[in-house]
Amino acid sequence: MLSDLEIAQQATLKPIREVAEGLGIREDELELFGNFKAKVDLEILDRLASGPAGKYIDVTAITPTPLGEGKTVTTIGLSMGLAKIGKNVCTCIRQPSLGPVFGIKGGAAGGGHSQVVPMEDFNLHLTGDIHAVGLANNLACAFVDNSIYHGNPLDIDPYAPSLRRVVDISDRWALGEIVTGLGSGIVRHTGFDITVASEVMAILGLTTGLDDIRKRLGRMVVAYRRDGSPVTCDDLKVGGAMAVLMKDAIKPNLMQTLEHTPCFVHAGPFANIAHGNSSILADMIATKLADYTVTESGFGADIGMEKFMNIKCRQSGLVPDCVVLVATVRALKMHSGKFKVVAGRPLDPGLLQENPDVVAEGCANLEKHIENIRMHGVPCVVAVNRFTTDAESELQAVAEKAKAAGAGWVAHSNVWAEGGKGGTELAEAVVEACEAPNDFKFLYDLDLSIKEKIETIATKMYGAGSVVYEKAAEQAIERFTQLGYDNLPLCMAKTHLSLTHDSKVKGAPTGFEFPVRDVRASIGAGFLYPLCGMMRTMPGLPTTPAGEKVDIGPDGQVVGLF
């Protein structure tokens, strides 16, 4: 069996000009990066402004397990399936962070016969957007420290929280917590975040244009004065320079799938420590050009989809026509709590043996995510990403539980093995769902207090019984309320591996106590983000990083990337 990389490398790619032409993008709207990738100029939005918008689909998943659910594989395969049944389609997905590429997860271009290509370019640098984000963020940090060093004319409190530097590598053990300023005399405790979790990345994902990104960068709060008032990038006179660094990164990147359907790859935040969605700009262009736009939100419906609905949709004005919820039989078995996956060891044989009762028990997690989708009033399609070990009795158990929980459609997906052909059943279900009644609604009103919004998300999306706040969180909530930031949506930083704050807890527990450790403000992006449980904003590498397998072959091709 060929590896994902071998399949990608053997693929015949179309010149990106041809892919763009098929979608309706003019050649003068393209900025080529070689033959197979390009940026799209934002002036295209002026040309498309008066045209109708196509259907808009979000792909989410059950709570992730170490086995993988195949959300990106399904997103890409659904798009190819829609093309197979004659629909004009475009995909919009996130650019992967180099942290997971060289860490635990590996690449994020899909897999098997359902990939975005060239997958090496997709997973490694692409057109440099993430580097631009890091430079803009770190330039603001340097301006903060420089202002303090040169007489501190803004009266910045050097010991109050300020913007943290970023790097797009999982480097928690060295950079997660550090001491700076040993050479300047102002010594303080701080740390690094991973670049894709930065506010600049969130701004890239949520901006609607060059003028908008300039304003958002300018109003970023990067420090506080001794009297507690905020210091912005425009106060430091660095907002303009940051916008210059971002002027090319703001343009979405165009690539293609293995079956030559178009795919925008733009912005790259995680959904556990950021808002977890690709860019509004890519979606705005795609929905004007295609009859069906398929995007994905990070991790499960409790975090990535919730942020898609309540942050991204608020700012874009786009409303999803349906949500696709991805699950696998073996992942649902994991959510029964009866199995454990240990890195480096063979799978528990029970995960591969027919057991519909255990699958039905694990479906509690699936049922909760269906409930979360229905709370937003959007039609739900459950996509079962099939494996050869799945038994018909197990698939039937999933279908029965999903329908009883309120899913309107349950479809099987075999896109990893068959590409678009294996996604036609799912595509037909999605077409039907997009025509179904839609009562889209936000989960919470912005005029609720910060605590009321936190408690709404924790109790309704996660199933918590109550919320407890540590002292730092209480102080931050009081400060942000006084500053008038209490009317913003929330971007909860929570583990993706559980509906709770504890990554070890599987299934769908209820009534638990949900802890909030701290709350931070991303005023340029337009949200507050509570830090929940032990969630950190800089990941660490595992015992055996994926990067150990990555190398250059004798012919110059990348090997070991997945």
For residue 305, what pLDDT is reported?
98
Tell me how many helices (H) and strands (E) the chain has. Answer: 21, 23
Element (H, E) at 340: none
Bond before 153 cis per omega within 30 degrees: no
User: Which of the four CATH numbers 3.30.43.10, 3.40.309.10, 3.40.50.10140, 3.30.1510.10 does domain 129-246 have?
Assistant: 3.30.1510.10
DSSP state of 60: E
Element (H, E) at 464: none
128 to 134, 210, 279: CA distances (angstroms): 10, 18, 15
Of residues 300, 164, 290, 303, the one with CA closest to residue 220? 164
Cα separation, 354 vs 396, in Å, equals 12
C-beta neighbour count of 2 within 10 angstroms: 11
> What average pLDDT score do residues 26-42 get?
97
Q: Which two tokens stand for residue 94?
A: 């996130």
Q: How confident is the model at residue 102 (pLDDT cuts 50, 70, 90)?
A: confident
Q: Is the pLDDT of residue 10 over 80?
A: no
Residue spans of alpha helices (H) in 376-514: 392-405, 415-418, 424-434, 450-457, 471-482
Kindly report the pTM of this predicted structure: 0.94
Q: Is the pLDDT of residue 143 over 90?
A: yes
CATH topology assigned to domain 450-532: Formyltetrahydrofolate synthetase; domain 3 (3.10.410)
Q: Is the pLDDT of residue 67 over 90?
A: no
Of residues 170, 35, 64, 79, the one with CA closest to residue 499? 64
Q: Is the pLDDT of residue 54 over 80?
A: yes
Instruction: Determine the distance from the C-alpha atom of residue 394 to the mean position of all C-alpha atoms in its chain, rounded to a whole number.
Output: 30
Q: Is the pLDDT of residue 1 over 90?
A: no
Of residues 409, 319, 279, the one with CA closest to residue 54? 319
* Domain 4-97+249-434 part of CATH 3.40.50.12500: no
The chain-wide mean pLDDT, for the chain, equals 93
3-class SS at 110? Answer: strand
Could you read off the pLDDT of 507-548 as tens digits, one per residue? 999 999 999 999 999 999 999 999 999 877 787 887 788 777
DSSP 21-41: HHHT--GGGEEESSSS-EEE-
Domain ranges (residues) in the chain? 4-97+249-434, 129-246, 450-532
Amino acid identity of residue 490, one-letter, is L
Q: Which two tokens stand for residue 7?
A: 């399949």
Report whether 57 contacts 434 (CB < 8 A). Answer: yes
Could you read off the pLDDT of 239-252 as tens digits, one per residue? 999 999 999 999 99
DSSP 290-331: -SEEEEEEEEEIIIIIHHIIIIIHHHH----SEEEEEE-HHH
Q: Which stretches of 404-538 are assigned E, i.e. beta strand?
A: 409-413, 466-469, 513-522, 527-532
Of residues 312, 282, 318, 290, the one with CA closest to residue 92? 282
DSSP state of 403: H
Q: In the 3-class helix/strand/coil scheme, how is 236-266 assigned residue by residue?
A: CCCHHHHHHHHCCCCCCEEEEECCCCEEEEC
How do beta strands 262-265 and 30-32 pair? unpaired
**Tokens 């459609």 label which residue?**
409
Of residues 216, 175, 179, the one with CA closest to residue 194? 175
For residue 105, what pLDDT is reported?
62
Cα separation, 60 vs 402, in Å, equals 15
Q: How confident is the model at residue 5 (pLDDT cuts 50, 70, 90)?
A: low
Cα separation, 255 vs 93, in Å, equals 10
